[in-house]
């Protein structure tokens, strides 16, 4: 029996992890982007026009947590799956409104993939 066939190759493990990493990063990016839009277009008007600041506290906390996770995943992916340029562009995208949506499209297109 050939035991080497039972052991997955390093390339397959890296590809699988990269696929999972890309999907997770994409999901968190969309959630971070939507939480920002909810914060700006729902919670802030509720605070200033309706006098209810509770929504800003709630959605601000959610958005802050998702922002930290987004940046953490970006740091984890750079060097293993994406180039250093992805770190710079991803950080800029994280602080620009609708940036995560645009950055996700570039990430899916393979613009930042490492060349093996």
- Report the candidate in 27, 29, 18, 31 with the shortest Cα–Cα distance to residue 112: 18
With 60 as the cut, is the pLDDT of residue 4 above it?
no
Domain segments of the chain as ranges? 19-109
* C-beta separation of 58 from 43 below 8 A: yes
Quote the pLDDT of residue 31: 93
Quote the pLDDT of residue 15: 45
d(Cα 39, Cα 42) in Å, to the nearest integer? 6
Across 32-60, average pLDDT: 92
- Tell me: the pLDDT tens digits for 86-113? 889 989 998 888 889 999 888 888 777 7
User: Residue with structure tokens 């297109």?
Assistant: 109
């Amino acid at each position: 029996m050939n035991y080497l066939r039972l052991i997955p190759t390093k390339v397959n493990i890296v590809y699988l992890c990269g696929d999972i990493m890309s999907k997770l990063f994409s999901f968190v990016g969309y959630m971070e982007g939507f939480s920002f839009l909810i914060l700006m277009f729902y919670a802030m008007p509720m605070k200033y026009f309706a006098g209810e600041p509770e929504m800003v506290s709630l959605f601000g906390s959610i958005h802050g947590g998702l922002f930290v996770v987004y940046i953490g995943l970006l740091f984890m992916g750079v060097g293993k799956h994406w180039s250093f340029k992805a770190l710079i562009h991803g950080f800029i995208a994280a602080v620009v409104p609708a940036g995560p949506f645009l950055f996700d499209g570039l990430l899916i297109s393979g613009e930042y993939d490492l060349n093996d």
